[in-house]
Amino acid sequence: MTDWTAQTAQAKQWFESLRDDICAAFEAIEREAGSDAAFEYTPWDRETDDASEGGGGVRGVMKGKVFEKVGVNVSTVRGDFAPEFARTIHGAGAENPGFTATGISLVAHMANPHVPAVHMNTRFLTTSKAWFGGGADLNPPIPYDEDTGDFHAAFQQACDAHDPEYYPRYKQWADDYFFIPHRNVHRGVGGIFYDHLECADHAAWERHFAFTRDVGSAFLTIFPQLVRRRMGHAFTAEDKQRQLEWRGRYAEFNLVYDRGTLFGLKTGGNIDAILMSLPPEAVWR
């Protein structure tokens, strides 16, 4: 079996670098809005009774004038999956329950309902196999065709630089995944989602890592542009109510269907980091 220790460390370093760049970009937007809000970072260790397991991460959260609540987490964990859960994970099972996982996860809930909320994550996992996954999707309470088009165009450009089949495939995957069956609605206007991008050898790892870096860079380029475009828009009480109701749908998806939430809970992750995706305020009718 290939030893992916060095590659895991390299991916972790990139995810931390991307975290730093994203947080700096978001803090710059707060400064432009006259706010001194900054990220607060909380390190955490994975709780385990087995010395061979462990890892942890850093939870970064900012609450400001533009970003009502944004969390940017980086974690690197290792251990064994519980037997039943192992059967649901690519390359794992009763005979191969061991895993390592490193990644970045981001969710931003915005103060102004004209500014879209957003989710982004990229990750590298090893079981008996090794693979990358990730993506980003835009979640506007008040959709604008211009914003949707620009968001998709940024990720299409990132995809097309690697494989012209990536964008249509991963866009459809996002449409299928970010869907709330019990409401029969999508949770937003989509983006891209990919998983199990397997690394059969080190050359494949380099290709898929390059693609994953481009996905992160595309997010860092496009989302601050959308925030600046909308953050000064006036909004009404009705607009805010629409946002709060939409956030309820977002919470439903993350608590009922999101695989990342389940993965964190099943692998001893930090509860506050896992649930940072939930909005600071939401309503149901």
Q: DSSP characters for 35-79? A: -----EEEEEE---S-TT-EEEEEEEEE--SSEEEEEEEEEEEEE
Active-site residue, 119 included? yes
Contacts of 37 (CB under 8 A, 6+ apart): 27, 30, 62, 63, 64, 65, 67
Integer Cα distance of 226 and 262 in angstroms: 30
What phi-psi label fits residue 65: left (phi over 0), alpha (psi between -120 and 50 degrees) or beta?
Answer: alpha
Cα gap 9→159, rounded to integer Å:
24
Q: 277 and 71 in contact (C-beta within 8 Å)?
A: yes
Backbone phi and psi for residue 151, each to the nearest 5 degrees, phi listed first: -60, -50
Q: Tell me the backbone φ, ψ of residue 28, rounded to 5 degrees.
A: -65, -40
Selecting among 114, 119, 152, 186, the annotated active-site residue is: 119
Catalytic residues: 119
